[in-house]
Structure 1
Amino acid sequence: MKKLALLATTLAMVSGSALAADLRVKAVKAPPPVAFDPWDIAFGASLASNYVFRGITQSNHKPSVSAYFEPRYNVTKDLQLYVGAAGASISFPNRAAAEIDIYGGIRPTFGMFAFDFGVWGYLYPGGQCFNSAAIPGSGIPGSDASCAASPFGNSDPVTGGLPINGNFAKKNASFYEGFAKVNITLNDQFSVGLNEYYSPNFLNLGAWGNYASITGKWTAPATTFGASGVGMYISGEFGRQWLGTSDSFYGTAIASPLGGGPFPAGIPEPSYNTWNIGIGFTYKVFTLDLRYSDTNLSKGDCNAFTSDHTARFDGSFTPINPGGFGSGWCGATGIAKLSADLTAMTNLK
């Protein structure tokens, strides 16, 4: 009897081992590999009631249209290389009417951390020079070759600068920045970000520029609007723009009535804080963003920094703004923006 039991046990073990081996063989059979296309293209366009960059209007508080095109190469699912080109309508003091951006970088992702490192170039074609004192050969520091077109360059013969307020503007305002960003996804609803930009010659003022900011975003649950497909978010940013001293092109020859100056070698450009908060609604590839933006720049310092061609005299004297002209380009404003954003792999398959 014991022999029979032992034999039965042995047969069961052998049978069980064979079955287990069978199962193991079936388990290692993998499905066919999924095809991976590393190339993608992102592109889109927008219409905004006002183009605001770091708290300051670039379109003189008027509507602006923009578009971008961005080829991407995904080395892996967590590492992307990209280049891009973008354009927007603007209204600059030097009469430039368009901003053309050329940029590129790398986006590595580590879990909840999405990084972005790159270089961004801002080009402003079609500008004119406004500074009669900067005619080459005049012996005055800060001369600009673009002012040689006429005895006063393109400047007003009375003020020596822009008509009405006498502000100076270079023909070329183009510049570039290096940047580093990280977005941290805390969960399905909350994310925060840190951003850092540096330029050795911000807006070609002759002054270095450094911008740092923190962002936050709350995304509403997908069920908020039922099955309509509409999404919603609330986001905001607080940033600080630090600036160095301009070159002598923007220097002042007179002192401010409030003290300070003159600054013939260049003005100490005003560093400032900026912030914005807004609500957005998404539907398929479309986004409607409604936002409030502001800075702590005074009207006088805003005029000195921007060379606003629409600035009017209102007694806004500051140490770097001895003329008393004030600009509304840096104050509180609302922005409505409708945009469409697509990627080839997602939207054009």
Structure 2
Amino acid sequence: MKKTIISVAAVLAVGVTSASAADLPAKVYSKAPPIVAFDPWDIAFGAAVMSNYVFRGVSQSNNNPSVNAYFEPRYNVTKDLQLYVGTSWSSISFANRAAAEVDIYGGIRPTFGAFAFDFGVYGYLYPGGKCVDTAGVGAGALCPGDINSISLANGNVLKKDLSFYEGYAKVNWTVNDMFTIGANEYYTPSFLNSGAWGNYASLTAKFTAPTTVFGPSGVGMYVSGEFGRQWLGTSDSFYGLPGTIFANGIKYKDYNTWNVGVGFNYRVFTLDLRYSDTDLSKADCNAFTSDYTATLTGDVSPINPGGFGSKWCGATFIAKLSADVTLQSNIK
């Protein structure tokens, strides 16, 4: 009888143990998390106001304030591969009175670990321009029959259409959370539609301060800089100097440019304070830009024998306030 009781107890014990074991998976499993579909599309857009629109060390706004806005749809093929197109608009002040600079661009951004690449094509459009001649409205050899041409007292000339395109390649290496180093390369067969090829290469560096610098305020800070060199070819005959060895076009001066600055960001806003400069002389700057404000300063060079000098390529301080938004990061 005792043996029977023991056997029954054993069976019950085994049954309870088996039941408990069967219950374990039910305790481990929980309600399945909702499936979140991957949305590969994103849009970046923003606007900025700056005290001076400087492009590779040269003012595009006659050293006056400028505004800018951009719109950039993006498609993320994977988390490490992005396709994009975009457009931007900037206010400028050129001798040909172009209405604005309108940029259209597109490319691909692959990422490999700490290295982020960017390859694409950039188109610069300058609608609304007029031909600039020195011999009088509609009467000069450079703008024959153009009754809307412009004459400048300083003798500079400029084409009606300055539109051109560049191919580019960029890379940024994120060393760690604070340091980023980059390199950029741009090439065009005709810079500003001058007939002169252009090649621009630069190195960049950026230090992002730890978030603890400003405590819980949410304000971030960075320090960044760039050193670049612009190589330029020979223009077509439109910019030639009759009676000189440059009658069929002028060989623009190659130059170095650099900038360094500090920035503060809060949410989508960034305030950037920057110093920019080049090693272009006032004479060579005038020949390169056809600055309509150039004055007779006695600055002479082989490609600028008239003695007019431009201040568009000198040292300048730039303050820029911008707002940048992406749908996935800032709105959703």
Shared fold (TM-score, shorter chain, > 0.5): yes
Q: Does 1:154 align with 2:149?
A: yes
Q: Residue 54 of structure 1 aligns to which amino acid in structure 2?
A: R
Q: Does 1:348 align with 2:308?
A: no
Name the structure 2 match of 1:276: 259
Shift of the 318–53 alpha-carbon distance from structure 1 to 2, 3 Å rule, reads same
TM (norm. structure 1) is 0.84
Rounded to whole Å, the distance in 2 between the matches of 1:224 and 1:38 is 34
Q: Does 1:220 align with 2:209?
A: yes
Rounded to whole Å, the distance in 1 between the matches of 2:139 and 2:98 is 26
Q: Percent same amino acid at aligned positions?
A: 69
How far apart are 1:33 and its partner, in Å? 4.2
Rounded to whole Å, the distance in 1 between the matches of 2:80 and 2:103 is 26
How far apart are 1:148 and its partner, in Å? 2.2
CA deviation profile, 1:160-187 (whole Å, cap 9, x unmatched): xxx2201010000000000000011000
Equivalences for residues 198-237 of structure 1 within 5 A: 198-237=187-226
Is the 2:130–2:150 Cα contact (8 Å) retained in structure 1?
Answer: no
Rounded to whole Å, the distance in 1 between the matches of 2:75 and 2:35 is 20
Is the 1:59–1:92 Cα contact (8 Å) retained in structure 2?
Answer: yes
Name the structure 2 match of 1:116: 118
Unaligned runs of 5+ residues in structure 2 are 1-16
Name the structure 1 match of 2:160: 171
Q: Residue 318 of structure 1 aligns to which amino acid in structure 2?
A: S
Name the structure 1 match of 2:106: 104
Larger Rg: 2
Name the structure 1 match of 2:227: 238
How far apart are 1:345 and its partner, in Å? 1.3
Name the structure 2 match of 1:265: 248
Q: SS of the residue aligned with 1:225?
A: helix
Rounded to whole Å, the distance in 2 between the matches of 1:97 and 1:220 is 39
Q: How many residues align?
A: 318
Is the 2:179–2:207 Cα contact (8 Å) retained in structure 1?
Answer: yes
Is the 2:138–2:146 Cα contact (8 Å) retained in structure 1?
Answer: no
CA deviation profile, 1:292-324 (whole Å, cap 9, x unmatched): 000000000000000000000111110100101
Q: Residue 104 of structure 2 aligns to which amino acid in structure 1?
A: I
CA deviation profile, 1:228-258 (whole Å, cap 9, x unmatched): 0000000000000000000000001245xxx
Q: Residue 148 of structure 1 aligns to which amino acid in structure 2?
A: G
Q: Does 1:325 align with 2:308?
A: yes
Q: Does 1:304 align with 2:322?
A: no
**Which aligned segments of 4 or more residues in structure 1 are displaced greater than 6 angstroms?**
133-138
Is the 1:132–1:147 Cα contact (8 Å) retained in structure 2?
Answer: no
CA deviation profile, 1:12-68 (whole Å, cap 9, x unmatched): xxx9xxx8xx88xx69x9855432100010000000000000000000000000000
TM (norm. structure 2) is 0.88
Is the 1:164–1:312 Cα contact (8 Å) retained in structure 2?
Answer: no
Rounded to whole Å, the distance in 1 between the matches of 2:230 and 2:136 is 28
Name the structure 1 match of 2:9: none
